[in-house]
Structure 1
Amino acid sequence: SKHLLSRKNVENTLHSNKYALTTFKAGIIVGSGSSSFEIIRDLVEKLPFMIAPKWLNTKTQPIGVRDVLSFLSNAIGKKELFHKSYDIFGPEILTYKEMLLQFAKVRGLKRTIVTVPIMTPKLSSYWLYFVTSTSYKLASSLVNSMGIEIIGEKSAINSMLGVKPMNYKKAVELAFVKIEQNSIISSWKDSYISSGNLQNYIHKYINVPSYGCFKDFKQRKVINSENTVNKIWSIGGDNGWYYGTFLWKIRGYIDQFYGGTGLRRGRRSPTELLNGDALDFWRVIYADKEQQKLLLYAEMKLPGEAWLEFKIEEGILYQTATFRPKGVAGRLYWYLVTPLHWFVFKGMINKIIEI
């Protein structure tokens, strides 16, 4: 397929007589941010019943992103690997259907999948495009490659580098440990700051997920930048959320009723926010007053994951509420609260920019 051929072209492009090249070739990489992983996640969490194309019976050997990183880091400086190519893969040969069902089991979801032989590659591409959050171009490329079995060629690379790849289910479980702790965003931040790289640009790279997400987006022209930033940094706790306070309180009571923290945690300081701070039923993921960006992660009881972001760029305040639903319940929840979101978030951003 063109997708797989492009990988080979990358290898050919990187090859040089001036430096040593070691190539590791993998099929499906299991980890947040991987296109295949995000598509599988979309399918499993959105569809209780799937009528799917026959390529779901194609076999492959998925590998966890942690194992990929182990291969890469352990290979550095190993002269015996120079100018060589190795396949890296997990211990199991699975069909895409088996991967979807195991993924569902890890997520605690019951899913039924029926494969049919009548879907052409073009129809399959449209199916992925409409059901998931991927682009049609990527969907088309993936469909063409998913019809081809990718079984790794065995070698001694595992023993040479001391890597014992985990099974698919374990890789999925660990991926969600990272996601639920929201450490994907924070680990990128920590690595940049600790190394000194991109110190002044990190705010541009810390962003919430986009695959399979609903968003409530608002923007307003900022009249007084300092005043607006101070209001953002004072939000929550005794200061409230500036608009629809009674609705925020009701949401807090509902959260407590279902075993959550509600609004009782408040905030550490009335005017300061630091990374890691609790803020009512949110957690501060990123707070940089100089760069005028605040990112919060929801710790309330939800059928999914949620983020709330404030940032000022070129005199414009951007306020974005993002929700990634888990299953049908998550999608129904979003549609149910959308009218309230429109009311509350519109009022909130208007109050924030007031002088």
Structure 2
Amino acid sequence: MNGRRVLVTGATGYIGGRLTPRLVEAGHEVRALARDPGRLRDASWADAVDVVQGDLEVADDVRRAVAGVDVVFHLVHAMGAGGDFATAELAQARNVAAAAKAAGVQRIVYLSGLHPQGERLSKHLASRVAVGDALLGSGVPTIVLQAGIVIGSGSASFEMIRHLTEVLPYMPAPRWVRNFVQPIAVRDVLHYLVAAAAVPGEVHGAFDIGGPDVLRYGQTMNGYAVEAGLPQRPIAPLPVLTPWLASQWVNLVTPVPRAIAMPLIGSLLHDCVVADRRIDAIIPPPEGGLTGYRKAVRLAIARERSGDIESSWRSSTPAGAPSDPLPSDPSWSGSTVLEDARERTTAASPDALWRVVEAVGGDRGWYSVPLLWSLRGLGDRLVGGVGLRRGRRDPDHLREGDVVDFWRVERIERGRMLRLRAEMKVPGRAWIEFAVDPATDGGASYRQRAVFLPSGLAGRLYWWSLVPAHHVIFEMMASRIVAVAEEESR
């Protein structure tokens, strides 16, 4: 049943930002409610939806948002926002429930958390259950989809797995690291959500959804390690590591905020697996079946490890696949990117500056501390790398695929941008990029950045150990390139 009028709350969030364009593609007329509509300004689908400003805790705002709507997707949570998130979530849900009933909404769809029955739940899971119950009691036909760990770049649960595995070569962990979970790929979550809009009105209730694999939490980390090309991590369960202590530990060694890590960790105190597959009779699994855990991880990191560096640098262009990163994802999501960036303005013309940039390397060198570059090349040769001896094909001009010492030209926009990919032996992947733009005063703007995507702890230690040298090398490189361009402009 296409062409329904749909409201999405939480369109700026992880699931909402991926669901909204897929609802548009399915032929629905979509309205997105956002407290700050400006956060949707850069979304590729923003012009295809009706973006309205409103606060779910303000009843009048919710009533205006649901007016004329057939289906409400409630995808908001307050975890990480500070304060009593459970109280805020329940108040929001009650406003949505009351407004939906009054407006004659035909369907509410809510994404909740997979949880065991008959156990005392963590605050996070208990809040999800309370919100689901409030919506189920609204008098509007409601589907509550209860999902476990969602696997995709940007998902808080996945990012915690990613960063813990990347950083720690040895994993001291609470004993609940041996509890069972049933992860689900984000693409499969979206499959169920999109299909829920067309479910007949008599369907009402909560339904478990999960992927095909039931794993111990420790196995999810080592499954990530295998797909990321890292050694599997020894895991030692420690009975004394409480959820509070574990959240402090996660906050210390990963960028995941403690306000998010703590409720997520509390949820891991339980086995969270699918109790039944009643959902299959209502929404069949996607064509080809549900996505296995290892494949879901592979999809989540594919663009980041494929050489598509714009994706890894969090480009403003949204990725197409649901497992890809989006610009609206939190700053702590995605693979770790370490960067050294320098900028200069110069009276030299853009053409003169570009000539210096395009001639970098080879006999002209790298405009900074030749001894350090020579030592780096020698070190690379000693560990089986290519070293600095390859030089250049042409002293003045480059084309994509050319060798420049231990770099290779990955991309060139003549007169504007040059990106070199490192081919030396490093524990990760490295690039250096030079950009030239005309300045408003007739001169030129020069931007230079070295980017490193570390592999595991070794990659991070490698970068941090070189920070002092990088400061000297890259600062001098930027200054000398500009100075040479100015000399040649005279």
Identify whether the pair has TM-score above 0.5, normalized to the shorter chain.
Answer: yes
Residues of 2 paired with 1:142 and 1:71: CA distance?
23
SS at match of 1:79: coil
Look up the match of 1:168: 293
Look up the match of 1:95: 216
Q: 1:193 to 1:100 in 2, by over 3 A?
A: closer
Offset of 1:181 from its aligned partner? 1.0
Matched, 1:57 2:181: no
SS at match of 2:346: coil
Q: 1:163 to 1:193 in 2, by over 3 A?
A: closer
- Identity, % of aligned positions: 30
Look up the match of 1:217: 340
SS at match of 2:244: helix
SS at match of 1:159: coil
SS at match of 2:222: helix
Q: 1:52 to 1:215 in 2, by over 3 A?
A: same
Residues 23-45 of structure 1: CA deviation (Å, up to 9, x unaligned) = 56543233333333332222223
Give the TM-score normalised by the residue count of structure 2.
0.54
Residues 111-147 of structure 1: CA deviation (Å, up to 9, x unaligned) = 2211223233322211001111222223234223333
Residues 146-170 of structure 1: CA deviation (Å, up to 9, x unaligned) = 3344334522167353241232223
Offset of 1:64 from its aligned partner? 3.0
Matched, 1:303 2:432: no
SS at match of 2:354: helix
Residues of 1 paired with 2:396 and 2:436: CA distance?
21
Residues of 2 paired with 1:14 and 1:94: CA distance?
35
Matched, 1:339 2:468: yes
Q: What amino acid is the match of 1:223?
A: T
Residues 198-223 of structure 1: CA deviation (Å, up to 9, x unaligned) = xxxxxx99xx9876747453544523
Residues of 2 paired with 1:59 and 1:143: CA distance?
13
Matched, 1:43 2:167: no
The Cα RMSD (Å) is 4.8
Residues of 1 paired with 2:310 and 2:260: CA distance?
24
* Farther off after superposition, 52-61 or 241-250: 241-250
Q: What amino acid is the match of 1:79?
A: A
Matched, 1:143 2:268: no
Greater Rg over alpha carbons, structure: 2
Residues of 2 paired with 1:221 and 1:78: CA distance?
53
Residues of 1 paired with 2:96 and 2:435: CA distance?
38
Offset of 1:341 from its aligned partner? 1.7
Residues of 2 paired with 1:55 and 1:285: CA distance?
47
CA contact (8 A) 1:2 1:141 kept: no
Residues 274-308 of structure 1: CA deviation (Å, up to 9, x unaligned) = xx75563255469697xx77665544332123344
Look up the match of 1:351: 480
Residue 303 of structure 2, aligned match among 167, 178, 199: 178
Q: What amino acid is the match of 1:185?
A: E
SS at match of 1:91: coil
Residue 112 of structure 1, aligned match among 234, 247, 263: 234
Give the number of the structure with larger relative contact order, counting CA–CA contacts within 8 Å between residues 6 or more apart.
1
Stretches of structure 2 lacking an aligned partner (at least 5 in a row): 1-76, 80-84, 112-144, 321-326
Residues of 2 paired with 1:31 and 1:171: CA distance?
7
Residues 161-193 of structure 1: CA deviation (Å, up to 9, x unaligned) = 324123222333444443321337359879769
SS at match of 1:321: strand
Q: 1:131 to 1:186 in 2, by over 3 A?
A: closer
Matched, 1:122 2:251: no
SS at match of 1:171: helix
Look up the match of 1:201: none
Residues of 1 paired with 2:108 and 2:403: CA distance?
48
* Farther off after superposition, 109-118 or 335-344: 335-344
SS at match of 1:100: helix
Q: 1:211 to 1:193 in 2, by over 3 A?
A: closer
Look up the match of 2:256: 134
CA contact (8 A) 1:265 1:278 kept: no
Q: What amino acid is the match of 2:354?
A: N
CA contact (8 A) 2:434 2:447 kept: yes
Offset of 1:91 from its aligned partner? 0.7
Q: What amino acid is the match of 1:170?
A: K
Stretches of structure 1 lacking an aligned partner (at least 5 in a row): 195-203
CA contact (8 A) 2:421 2:431 kept: yes
Residues of 1 paired with 2:301 and 2:89: CA distance?
27
Q: 1:145 to 1:259 in 2, by over 3 A?
A: same
Give the TM-score normalised by the residue count of structure 1.
0.70
Q: What amino acid is the match of 1:51?
A: P
Look up the match of 1:198: none
More helix by share: 1
Residue 244 of structure 1, aligned match among 369, 386, 394: 369
CA contact (8 A) 1:22 1:81 kept: no
Residues of 1 paired with 2:455 and 2:179: CA distance?
26
Q: 1:317 to 1:9 in 2, by over 3 A?
A: farther
Q: What amino acid is the match of 1:135?
A: P
Offset of 1:55 from its aligned partner? 3.6
